Amino acid sequence: MNLKAIPFKRSAKLLALLLTSMLIATVSAITYLQLTMSSTVAVYKSNVYFVIGSDNGTKNLEVELDSTKTTATLTGLRAYPNASFTYSDPVKVRNNATTGSAPQIRLAPDVNPSANPEDFEYVKFLLNGTSARWLNFTSNSTAWSNTGTTNWITIPNSTQWSIAVVTKATAGAAVSASVTITIKVDVD
Partner 1 sequence: MASGLLPEFFALLGIDLFLMLSLLTCLLDDRVPKAIPYIYQIAALVGYGHILVSKDFFTVFGEYMRFWYCFIYLLVSLANIVAVNIYFAAVKKQWTLAKVWSGAVSFPTILISIFFVSNYSYLQGVPFPLLLQIALVVAAIIMGTSVAIFLSPGALRNKFKEE
Q: Which of 90, 92, 109, 82 is nearest to 181 (CA)?
A: 109
CB of 35 vs partner 1, minimal distance in Å = 5
Query: Closest CB to partner 1 among 37 and 171?
Result: 37
17 scored as a contact of partner 1 (CB under 8 A): yes
The size of the chain, in residues, is 188
Of 98, 99, 101, 131, which one interacts with partner 1 (CB under 8 A)? 101
Of 32, 64, 134, 143, which one interacts with partner 1 (CB under 8 A)? 32
Instruction: Report the DSSP beta bridge partners of residue 50.
Output: 93
Residue list 105-124, contact with partner 1 (CB under 8 A): none
Of 4, 36, 142, 180, which one interacts with partner 1 (CB under 8 A)? 36
CB of 23 vs partner 1, minimal distance in Å = 10
Query: Closest CB to partner 1 among 15 and 132?
Result: 15
Contact 157, 102 (CB under 8 A): yes
Of 34, 142, 151, 180, which one interacts with partner 1 (CB under 8 A)? 34
Q: What is the Cα–Cα distance from 153 to 130, expressed in whole angstroms?
A: 8
Give the count of beta carbons closer than 10 Å to the beta carbon of residue 57.
11
DSSP 97: -
Of 39, 67, 98, 151, which one interacts with partner 1 (CB under 8 A)? 39
Of 38, 98, 99, 142, which one interacts with partner 1 (CB under 8 A)? 38
Angle (CA) 125 128 134, round 5°: 40
DSSP 151: P
Q: Judging by DSSP bridges, how do beta strands 182-187 and 104-111 pair with one another?
A: antiparallel
26 scored as a contact of partner 1 (CB under 8 A): no
Contact 127, 153 (CB under 8 A): yes
Binding site for partner 1 (CB under 8 A): 1, 6, 10, 13-14, 17-18, 20-21, 24-25, 27-29, 31-32, 34-36, 38-40, 101
